[in-house]
């Protein structure tokens, strides 16, 4: 008797520097899975974004940001959320088009969708090979305050998530608060905040 083919799993890719990862990231990821947009989500910890060279002075090393993400997202077989270092092993400079191509080759039984913020969608035409990404992967766009998106102007494979939770914070805001001594761990997972304090990150 022939075996039935394995079910294709829909995996959302949430790439970012996660500098540092915060509860807004993880709550959005869990919401996405709970709403059925994907079976699982991978936090793809990325090297420096080629479009954000100005942020290099405050970017923690790759292995440190990966560890903080792993502290925020404990790895469990039952959890649909994962932390991945896949992009950190790819050639530099790091481009999402190349990363997604490599993911397709490595995991042919997975269907990858890309999750990005409204701010990134508004600059998507500046990404490396944006048409190639659109040709191979659906894109889910979550709203961010100050970055309005006209859904009627979106390509057919791009979906705006109007009901996605909004979070009034960002990694930039958190870094600044830590540097200025104003942060008490708001928006940070307890183990992440403990590690930041222990190592003196962002001071």
How many other CB atoms are found less than 10 A from the CB of residue 146? 7
Question: Which has the closest alpha carbon to 113: 24, 60, 50, 44?
Answer: 44
Residue 1's pLDDT band (cuts 50, 70, 90): very low
Query: Which stretch of DSSP H or E encloses residue 97?
Result: helix 96-106
Q: What is the pLDDT of residues 174-196, one digit of tens each?
A: 999 999 999 999 999 999 999 99
Q: What is the pLDDT of residues 57-105, one digit of tens each?
A: 789 999 999 999 999 998 788 899 999 999 999 999 889 999 999 999 9
* Cis peptide, bond prior to residue 20, ω within 30 of zero: yes
User: What predicted TM-score, i.e. pTM, was given to this entire model?
Assistant: 0.93
- Which strand ranges, in their side-by-side order, compose the sheet holding 139-142? 81-84, 40-45, 9-16, 110-117, 139-142, 158-160
Q: Is the pLDDT of residue 51 over 90?
A: no
């Amino acid at each position: 008797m022939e075996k039935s083919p394995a079910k294709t799993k829909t995996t959302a890719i949430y790439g970012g520097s996660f500098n540092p990862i915060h509860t807004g990231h993880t709550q959005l990821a869990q919401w996405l899975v709970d709403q059925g947009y994907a079976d699982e989500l991978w936090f793809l910890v990325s090297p420096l974004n080629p479009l954000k060279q100005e942020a290099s002075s405050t970017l923690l090393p790759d292995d440190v940001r990966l560890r903080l993400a792993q502290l925020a997202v404990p790895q469990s077989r039952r959890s649909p959320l994962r932390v991945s270092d896949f992009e950190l092993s790819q050639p530099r400079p790091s481009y999402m088009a190349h990363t997604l191509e490599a993911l397709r080759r490595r995991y042919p039984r997975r269907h990858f969708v890309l999750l990005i913020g409204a701010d990134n969608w508004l600059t998507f035409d500046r990404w490396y090979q944006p048409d190639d990404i659109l040709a191979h992967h659906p894109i889910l766009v979550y709203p961010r305050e100050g970055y309005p998106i006209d859904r009627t102007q979106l390509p057919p494979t791009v979906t705006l998530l109007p009901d996605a939770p909004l979070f009034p914070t960002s990694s930039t805001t958190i870094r600044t608060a830590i540097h200025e001594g104003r942060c008490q761990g708001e928006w940070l997972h307890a183990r992440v905040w403990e590690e930041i304090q222990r190592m003196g990150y962002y001071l």
